Amino acid sequence: MHGRDRRANRVGVVVESLEGRAMLSPVAATAPVPTKLVMGASYLDIRGSALGSLKHPIGNPDGGKVDAIHGSGLLKGLGSTTIDGSLHGTGFIRSGHLSGTLTLSNAHGSVTLKLDGPAAKGFSPPTSGPYHFTITSGTGAYAHDTGTGTVDVALGSRYVGLSFRGDPKRT
């Protein structure tokens, strides 16, 4: 090795300016498709009233108070319906929104509603009043249904009344 010529391989760094070049994205730009155009989707206009029992399971107060709901009612679009779900208060936060989830079931399938309630301070329990609902999923005959509206919640100490008003103009 004494007689060999040792030369270091040098690699230069080349920096190219990207100014003036279009950056390609791996994500294709698509426009949202209105639900009316989705094959098999239909708007479910939920209207009517339901009554149920209310339980207050003990949980971690930092996560907010939860009221468990089990009831039944006669609702337009669904007929005789069983209702299960919960309302959630705010927990260890300065302020937030009351929320909840309801599953409406009958012999033909079910729909799950996401509930968005009024603004509330931290550690507020669920309250009576209007909650906006959105159908987030469905099964059976309601697998592709969409829908929005308002459910008026009337909370008692052990009972709950629910009054649904669909909003067919919002799709």
The pLDDT value recorded for residue 93 is: 87
For 65, the token pair is 């108070």
Output phi, psi for 36, to 5 deg.
-65, -25
Task: Check pLDDT > 70 for residue 77.
Answer: yes
Task: Check pLDDT > 80 for residue 28.
Answer: no
Which 3-state string (H, E, C) describes 32-90?
Answer: CCCHHHCCCCEECCCEEEEEEEEECCCCCHHHCCEEEEEEEEEEECCEEEEEEEEEECC
Q: For the chain, what are the domain ranges? A: 44-166
Output phi, psi for 7, to 5 deg.
-120, 135
The pLDDT value recorded for residue 17 is: 59
The fraction of the chain above a pLDDT of 90, given in percent, is 67
Distance from the first to the final alpha carbon of the chain: 80
Please check whether residue 52 is in contact with residue 67, taking contact to mean a CB–CB distance below 8 angstroms.
Answer: no
Average pLDDT over residues 7-13: 60
CATH 2.40.160 is the classification of domain 44-166 = yes
Model confidence pLDDT, tens digit, residues 94-106: 889 999 999 999 9
Whole-model pTM: value is 0.76
Task: Check pLDDT > 60 for residue 120.
Answer: yes
